[in-house]
Structure 1
Amino acid sequence: MNNQEKQSMNEKLIGSWRLVRYKVCNKNGKVTYPLGEDADGIAIYHEDGHMSVQIMSAGRLSYAGGDLHSGPQKAVAAAANGYLAYSGSYQLDPEQATIEQNIKVSLNPNWEGDTQLRYVRFRDDQMVISSEPVFIQGERQNNEIVWERLN
């Protein structure tokens, strides 16, 4: 890969992205959508090497009391179960078409301080991110997140 192609991949990554689809596929080929087929989300990759990803299920219920940080235990658990969020720094390797994401903060405490490798490819105004199989819905599954450029 020449310098122009590497620069092009960097330029393609930088920006804000809207979720198109978050799906997983098990070893038998069954496709499911962990946060629903109508999940919504935003990913931001900044030129300074920082990133943030937020994905949520559609139609999450508001807390009855309106408190910013608390609600009924079942409502809080349901809200957290329908949300995926993490931020930190990243390093793009254009030659390998990978992004190494260094998670600083995450809704999932197991990811805090973790480094995760993602595979990235671009098609038109979309970015497709996947990884090695991960433990989702009780089994190791392949995942694919499709993003569409916002800016």
Structure 2
Amino acid sequence: MENSMTEKIIGTWKLESWYYEDENGQKIDYFGKSPEGILIYDKVGYMSVHIMKHDRQLFQLNGMYEGSSEELSSAFRSYFGYYGRYYSDETGTLTHIVEGSAFPNWKGNIEKRYAKIEGDRLIIYTPPIETENGSIIFFITWERCKK
């Protein structure tokens, strides 16, 4: 936890944008034009990220588990989050060790990310991800929260 990238990312970050780029350079907003989210890196090596669509559908009933199948599906498809340990190296590579996630299959995953800081912005992007439609790269831009 002692390299310069780690020191620079410690804190709380507010989401600015989340999109992926395909092999042709086309940018697709993953959760629409105005997703909301927060990313936290602490000093002892824990991180947490939460991202959601701006216009999430409300349930008809107020109970968290009282939604219809459609409401529950929509809620899951419009929210992304996980937490766990992290470390970084001098090249700007971040490694997230997932301890818990909204998507249960991610528990235990090692998620590699690349990062660069430009002023008060943290730009995180993935290695290329192979899909049935070709390779894509996710880009997430965060702005440092200030007191």
- Partners of 1:98 and 1:125 in 2: CA distance: 19
Offset at 1:140? 3.4
Runs of 4+ in 1 over 4 A off after TM superposition: 135-139
Aligned residue number for residue 39 of structure 2: 43
Shift of the 133–17 alpha-carbon distance from structure 1 to 2, 3 Å rule, reads: same
TM-score where L is the length of structure 2: 0.91
Per the alignment, residue 100 of structure 2 pairs with 105
Task: Give the one of 66, 69, 76 matched to 1:70.
Answer: 66
Q: Does 1:147 align with 2:142?
A: yes
How far has the Cα of 1:136 moved from its partner?
Answer: 6.6
Matched-pair identity in %: 30
Q: What secondary structure does 1:74 align onto?
A: helix
Find the aligned partners of 1:137 and 1:148 in 2 and give their Cα distance: 32
Q: Which runs of 5+ in 2 are unaligned?
A: none
Over 3 Å counting, the alpha-carbon distance change for 1:123 and 1:24 in structure 2 is: same
Give RMSD over aligned pairs. 1.7
TM-score by length of 1: 0.89
Deviates more, 1:33-42 or 1:136-145: 136-145
Q: Residue deviations 1:53-87, cap 9 Å, x none?
A: 00000111111111123301101101110111010
Aligned residues between the structures: 145
- The runs of 5 or more residues in structure 1 that have no matched partner are none
